[in-house]
Structure 1
């Protein structure tokens, strides 16, 4: 199941290279999430979590926004069942929204 939501992107990291003859390439978006309470105690505030998307070329689409971070973005996630009762979220698309708003002003 796919759904869209607005997120706050705090960082974007490119990763590309070769390890033991195997090439790798990805971009990781560090998006803001709520801290959840658990059996160990209460919590307040927000943290960031990494979500990978595409290859290292995705970074190039965001490089010019570095000075604007953190920035709001519209993200599309795919939600699927994980092991046991867990749910997995996979980032499948993300686009900045603040640049469009600043042009209109």
Structure 2
């Protein structure tokens, strides 16, 4: 099951290489999430959690946005089965939300002859 959600991206990290003869390639997006209360006590605020896309080339699409972070994005997640009857969210696609353009400077009026 896929769904979209607006997220706030605080950081993006590329990882690729080979470990013990196995190639790996991923881009990790550190996205803002709510802190949940639990049996140990109350909480307020937000934290970030990593979500991976299994392609290091995804980093290239974001590298020019470093100065703009944190930035809003539209993320597509897929809900998948996890261990012990749990579920996990897998990041499938993520795109920055276009920021509003600054208004153009007014054109100077042509000087009359």
Structure 1 and Structure 2 fold alike (TM over 0.5): yes
TM-align CA RMSD: 1.3
User: Partners of 2:33 and 2:9 in 1: how far apart?
Assistant: 10
Name the one with the larger strand percent.
1
CA distance in 1, matches of 2:23, 2:73: 29
Moved more, 17-26 or 1-10: 17-26
CA distance in 2, matches of 1:22, 1:82: 24
Partner residue in 2 for 1:84: 84
1:52-76 alpha-carbon deviations (Å, 9 max, x no partner): 0131100000000000000000001
- Partner SS state of residue 101, structure 2: helix
| 2:23 corresponding residue in structure 1 | 23
Q: Which runs of 5+ in 2 are unaligned?
A: 104-113
Alignment of 1:1-105 (within 5 A): 1-97=1-97, 100-103=98-101, 105=103
Number of corresponding residues: 103
Runs of 4+, deviation exceeding 2 Å = 100-105
TM-score normalised to the size of structure 2?
A: 0.85
Is there any run of 5+ residues in structure 1 with no aligned partner, and where? none
